[in-house]
Amino acid sequence: MRIRLPLIVLLVLTFVAPPSAQVPQAPAATAQERVDADVLWKIRREATDRSQLMQTLQVLTDVYGPRLTGSPQLKAAMEWVVTQTTGWGLKNAHLEPWDFGHPGWTNERLSIHIVSPVKDALVAEALAWTPGTAGPVTADTMMLELPTRPTQAQLTQFFDAQRARVKGRIVLVGAPQKVDVTIVPPAKRREDAEVRAQFERDTPAGGGPPQMPAAPNGDVVPPARVAEQLDAFLVSAGAVARINDAGRDHGQIRAFNNRTFDINKAVPTVVMRNEDYGRVWRLMATGRTVQLDMHIVNQMHPEGRTQHNVVAEIPGTDKAAEVVMLGGHLDAWHSATGATDNAVGSATMLEAIRILQAIGVKPRRTIRVALWGGEEQGLLGSQAYVKQHFGTAENPKPEFAGFAGYFNIDSGTGRARGMTVFGPSDAARILREATAPFADNGFLGANATSSRRRGGSDHTSFNAAGLPGIGVSQDPIEYGTHTWHTNLDTYERVIEDDAKQSAMVIAAAVYQLAMRDQLLPRLEGAALPKLPTQ
């Protein structure tokens, strides 16, 4: 990796130059964007000297985390955003409802101890949308290993054989996973040469032909159906509780949800760290009777069926009916406080629009920040927003024509390194030139995609509609290895300087799109791929 000057030296070098100093530009052969050097100077100063990013992050995590979709914490966090952005001087801050269709759920208490043949505290997280226990319960454990790729007859026979054993037991489902020691950990920073190679492309990257799944074996029960039948079996057989193996190293736990969102279709369920799960399993495997004491308190929230997105904006001037958007999802899984996924992304986007408001920009287009709910359950909040406001290229609503782009960040604490825009190569060139002055921050360009397939994060809700969604690529840090959806995703795992640098470059890119004479180019007509079926 290319060695850069320490940040303090860069800041000194930046700030000793007068505001009117020439901002670095892309090579003269392709530089066509007019970049306002004075505004970029002000953005850098505000982002560096008067940042409020970490204060915002602390409130979103420590005060309102976790922020599971449907929970009171998520709504309270959004209401705080309305108050905070209004205090910054933004306009039209409000919540916009959408239909989640499921009640909310929260875990209020969870304790689990092994009481025989040894005594110790065990580490686990509740599976969302499962019931709690009826007060503290103590019960023997049992092992349950399902047959591999069973037919319906084999699965039914297996459940019938196990039914009498399950009643009154805490059931460990599946043998412990063997988690190997990581000898060479993945890199936390990306090499500059690798980033440049990715974001210097001018040719749009297509989505590729859809991958056809292998033809199912008609005699084998699909995994989703096996899981559904297992839940129903444990309920009907009278299991006290269920324990799943987290299957990750160093105590990491990812706990998601009962897919039916119906607590009547599952028993109290926890995901236990691999180290404790393996210990309990081995004790049973060597002939010992294991007894656990468990207490889980979960609450349902019927009002969670109606969920919200939160928006606020800086009104535009002569092109106020057109809009540039930036945002990220505010919801998070419940095992931790959702810092790197995605409170830091939300805080970064709030900071970017706060910076622009604080330096007094008068954008031609309206700049709107949006924080979404329901991303973790399938991009639900952003899909609802796009459908309500914009429609699709095939069936557009009036706001569709004036949309200038949506910037999204959702890959942890690492600093922004590049952007991918749904659009022609010229859209990527515009973003590349607009952000060229931030190469000293490690931001190295933009490329294009023509894929309308949803997935990954909320910018693809815009892509699917045929609108220019812009995904921000970041350094990985420990996102995929330690914090993504785990019980370790807390405030302590955020790198402050990285988040500040991201807010800085995003603010500059947003401002550029808000001030251009023309909208960001789009894929239109024959160049626009058909919306894939999914």
pLDDT tens track for 477-508: 999 899 999 999 999 999 999 999 999 999 99
What percent of the chain lies above the pLDDT cut of 90? 85
What's the pLDDT score for residue 215? Answer: 52
End-to-end CA distance of the chain: 40
Residue 20 reports pLDDT greater than 60 = no
Contact 402, 500 (CB under 8 A): no
Chain centroid to CA 108: how far?
23
Residues 316, 389 contacting (CB under 8 angstroms): no
Q: What number is the average pLDDT over the span 435-459?
A: 96
pLDDT in tens, 254-278: 999 999 999 999 999 999 999 999 9
- For residue 7, pLDDT over 80 is answered with no
pTM of the model: 0.91
Q: Please, which pLDDT band fits residue 218 given cuts at 50, 70 and 90?
A: confident
**How many residues appear in the chain?**
534
User: Which residues face 95 on adjacent strands?
Assistant: 310
**pLDDT at position 505:** 98
Mean pLDDT (the chain, rounded): 92
For residue 196, what pLDDT band results from cuts at 50, 70 and 90?
Answer: confident
- For residue 9, give Cα distances in angstroms to 4, 5, 6, 14, 523: 10, 6, 6, 9, 42
Q: Reading across the β-sheet that carries 137-144, which strands appear in turn? A: 120-121, 104-116, 291-301, 137-144, 170-173, 241-245, 269-272, 124-126
Q: Is the CB of residue 221 less than 8 Å from the CB of residue 151?
A: yes
313 contacts: CB under 8 Å, gap ≥ 6: 90, 91, 92, 93, 323, 366, 367, 368, 369
User: Residues 83-107: what's their mean pLDDT?
Assistant: 98
Other beta carbons within 10 Å of 289 = 11
Residue 209, pLDDT > 90, answer no
Helix (H) or strand (E) segment spanning residue 162: helix 152-166
| Rounded Cα–Cα distance for residues 532 and 317 (Å) | 37
Quote the pLDDT of residue 10. Answer: 37
- Alpha-carbon torsion 349, 352, 354, 356, what sign? negative
> What's the distance, CA 236 to chain centroid?
36
Going by pLDDT thresholds of 50, 70 and 90, the confidence category of residue 33 is confident
Residue 352: the pLDDT is 98
What pLDDT sits at residue 500? 98
Residues 6 or more apart whose CB falls under 8 angstroms from that of 331 comprise 67, 68, 69, 74, 338, 372, 373, 374, 375, 376, 377, 381
Phi, psi of 111 (to 5 degrees): -140, 140
- Output the pLDDT for position 211: 53
pLDDT for 64 beyond 80: yes
Strands (E), 232-305: 241-245, 269-272, 291-301
pLDDT for 18 equals 38
- Give the up-direction half-sphere exposure of residue 268: CA atoms within 13 A in the CB hemisphere: 25
The C-alpha atoms of residue 26 and residue 379 are separated, in whole angstroms, by 35
Structure confidence at residue 533 (pLDDT): 79
> Residue 424: pLDDT band by 50, 70, 90 thresholds?
very high
Residue 26 has pLDDT above 70, yes or no: no
Strand partners, 411: none
Q: Where are the beta strands (DSSP E) in 4-103?
A: 91-99
Please tell me the predicted confidence (pLDDT) of residue 193. Answer: 85
- Nearest-angstrom CA–CA distance, 500 and 496: 6
Taking residues 161-165, report their average pLDDT.
97
Does the pLDDT of residue 49 top 90, yes or no?
A: yes
In angstroms, what CA-CA distances link 178 with 213, 272, 277, 298? 28, 14, 11, 31
Helix (H) or strand (E) holding 58: helix 53-58
Tell me which DSSP letter residue 396 carries: B
Tokens 């468990």 sit at which residue?
A: 294
Angle at Cα 301 formed by Cα 298 and Cα 303, nearest 5°? 175
* pLDDT level of residue 205 (50, 70, 90 thresholds): low
Q: What is the dihedral of CA 73, 456, 449, 529, to 10 degrees?
A: -100
- Which pLDDT does position 15 carry in this prediction? 36
* pLDDT value for 17: 38
Q: What is 466-510 written as a DSSP string?
A: TS-EEEEEE--TTIIIIITTSTT-SGGG--HHHHHHHHHHHHHHH
E strand intervals along 315-451: 319-329, 365-372, 403-408, 416-422, 446-449
> Whole-angstrom Cα distance, residue 510 to residue 332?
25
| Residue 324 identity (one-letter amino acid) | V
Q: Tell me the C-alpha distance between 295 and 416, whole Å.
A: 43
C-alpha triplet 125, 129, 131: angle, nearest 5°: 80
